[in-house]
Structure 1
Amino acid sequence: MPEPRSGRIPTVDLRPWLTGDAEDRRAVAGTVDRALQNAGFLLVTGHGVEASLRARLRAAARTFFLLPAEVKQRYAARVGGRGWLGPGTEANGYAEGTATPPDLKESLTFATEEPFDDPKVNAEWYAPNVWPEEVPELRPLCREYLDRMARLEHRLLTLLGEALGVGRDFFTRHMSHPTYGFNINWYPGVEVVGEPEPGQFRIGPHTDFGTVTILDRQAGKGGLQVFTDEDGWTDAPYDPDAFTINIGDLMARWTGDRWRSGRHRVLPPPAEEPAEELMSLVYFGECTPGTLVESVPAPVGRVAYEPVDSHVYLRQKLDAITVG
């Protein structure tokens, strides 16, 4: 197995997990368990998602982000909704109690299109996606990407069940009708966002809220940093062929804090490269609404949290970061 890199964040090749023997799978599961106990992050290769799909999706999204603000405003959405989140909409640091100026980004956000059988839940979490008519290619690209992400998430959650020692279906059985979300985050340079205020980030320090996040990112000086107790804030390791994986608060609660909810931030445009532009594709895995998240007992779990309804918890977090 590869040695851990950059603050003990390892790169894990999924192929031995998917096609190897029992010893190979145990080795992968052990590496994942150790990584998530430390920083809550790892990189994965061998995932089978082509770089060309990611490149085409970025190009289509950039076409949208470069449209005039008055055009993008037609697709404006609230945090947790479907559509365009414009400048000044979010301050992610508030989710952890860190007061920051609004995040220096714009986002397009989409989610599952399969309706739920409860009308109230359906209205809250399964609103129709809003597809910009100015960029028609965005819709089929997003649908293809989300289909690939859902399959990858299922494989990862099966691996996480094995790594935790609770059975491969421990998490996946709660994902029969998930409210997964997908953000395309655009981080333009200072000519678009202006000079950063003190303490302002492209995304402020926070942990994600749900189960598992699958991130396709670009390297940059104003890029992703992760936090560990041993090393503090450090630049995240980068591999253009890898997805960055981190777990969120609900998964940390589920494991009784055996695994760390990965704290991270995205730095502002760097003074030495003020025109730097980055784009991230962020898939947020979630449970089926109404899932009761209960901490696994000791000796696997280390903290016994009060059980929470997954989507009551998620809504509280989304409301906390809403500033626009």
Structure 2
Amino acid sequence: MPSNPIPVIDLSPWTAGDRAGRKRLAGQVDRALQATGFLLLTGHGVAPELPGRLRAAAQDLFHLPPPVKARYAQSTDRRGWIGREKVVTARSEGTWTPPDLLEVWSCAADSATRPGQTRRLPDRWPLEVPDLHPLVTEYTERMRSLADTVLEVMATALDQPANLFTRHTTRPNWDFIINWYPAADETGPAAPGQFRIGPHTDFGLITLLDRQPGKGGLQVHDDMNGWQDAPHMPGAITVNIGDLMARWTADRWRSGRHRVLPPSPDAPQEELTSLVYFHACAPDTTITSLPTPTGRTSYPPVRAGDYLRDKMQAIYTTG
């Protein structure tokens, strides 16, 4: 793996609308995703202050007393506050680890149950942090638009119609989580094999990640070189593909394994907050692998909603 395992891609030629610029950009995206399944996206047009405002509101939430946060604990649909010892992400790939060292605020837009309408989950938001709900709404609307643009670039990179993927994302089905990684001073030393987030691949189409750098930060895995620290660029959004996109492209673009390291004893007061947007297609979408020469490995067709449900059920503890 090269010293910078994640290529940097400037999206601005796509929004400029120049045909030659779009073609070059699509080729860059194709090469990046074949190499790592990840890219760092610049020129995306997201207001630079928006992630910081949302992160500040989220930190207000996570620093509330535990009994207060418990009022907004996840319901049966797993939306709301998720406390520690509740998530074991590595289980999604059949690996056992101790529970992940994090807390989560989980929310979603689900239009599957009521045609023509969208239900935003959770139903209850923390009264103690009134800015959280409007900021999440603003941020996820911006991420949804950006994700569709990225999907159009990706379809063009495959020499397919630009709406190959986005015709299945017209209903605003998405998942958004805010991951808070407490400091080592608060969690104590990690258990053997314990991570802030255990090794895994993401499950859906693409993920848009706004992250903070740290000693206990993101690592990506390469079959030849193993685990390496993911590069960070201020203002850039980390994009990676998920399992459903890997299946759709028949492993032309593989879903990259990644993990978040445990808190480092060298930075005992380091706490990090990540904003993670998962773009999803309609649950009834049948994912069928593209044929050769575009694809490499043909997968049996799978219903998107079934695949995502099974993966999500695997990672949550019952305690």
Q: Which bin holds the TM-score, normalised by the shorter protein? A: over 0.9
> Which of 74, 77, 94 is the matching residue for 2:74?
77
> Which of 153, 162, 167 is the matching residue for 2:161?
167
Q: For each residue in 1:124-183, what CA deviation from the matched residue of structure 2 results, as whole angstroms up to 9, or x when unmatched?
A: x86544311111111111111011001101101101111122221000000111420110
Aligned residues: 317
User: Residue 283 of structure 2 corresponds to which residue in structure 1?
Assistant: 289
User: Residue 117 of structure 1 corresponds to which residue in structure 2?
Assistant: 114
> Which of 200, 214, 223 is the matching residue for 1:229?
223
Runs of 4+ in structure 1 deviating by more than 6 angstroms, as ranges, are: none
User: Residue 213 of structure 2 corresponds to which residue in structure 1?
Assistant: 219
Q: Which secondary structure does the structure 1 equivalent of 2:173 belong to?
A: coil
Q: Distance in 2 between matches of 1:10 and 1:104?
A: 29
Q: State TM-score, norm by structure 1.
A: 0.93
User: Residue 55 of structure 2 corresponds to which residue in structure 1?
Assistant: 58
- Structure 1 gaps, min length 5: none
Query: 1:302–1:256: structure 2 CA closer, same or farther, 3 Å change rule?
Result: same
Q: Distance in 2 between matches of 1:5 and 1:247?
A: 21
Written as runs of structure 1 = structure 2, the 5 A alignment for 1:128-207 is 128-207=122-201
Contact 2:111–2:173 (8 Å) recurs in 1: no
Contact 2:289–2:298 (8 Å) recurs in 1: yes
Contact 2:13–2:25 (8 Å) recurs in 1: yes
User: Residue 42 of structure 2 corresponds to which residue in structure 1?
Assistant: 45
User: Residue 317 of structure 1 corresponds to which residue in structure 2?
Assistant: 311
Q: Distance in 2 between matches of 1:78 and 1:293?
A: 29
Pair 1:245-2:278 in alignment:
no
Q: Which amino acid in 1 is paired with 2:44?
A: H
Q: Which secondary structure does the structure 1 equivalent of 2:71 belong to?
A: helix
Q: State TM-score, norm by structure 2.
A: 0.95
Q: For each residue in 1:199-235, what CA deviation from the matched residue of structure 2 results, as whole angstroms up to 9, or x when unmatched?
A: 1000000000000000000010100000112321000
- Structure 2 gaps, min length 5: none
Contact 2:110–2:173 (8 Å) recurs in 1: no
Contact 1:79–1:318 (8 Å) recurs in 2: no
Pair 1:6-2:4 in alignment:
yes
Contact 1:5–1:237 (8 Å) recurs in 2: no
> Which of 10, 20, 23 is the matching residue for 2:20?
23
Q: For each residue in 1:60-82, what CA deviation from the matched residue of structure 2 results, as whole angstroms up to 9, or x when unmatched?
A: 11111001111111111158621
Q: Which amino acid in 2 is paired with 1:40?
A: G
Query: 1:59–1:126: structure 2 CA closer, same or farther, 3 Å change rule?
Result: closer
Percent identical residues:
53
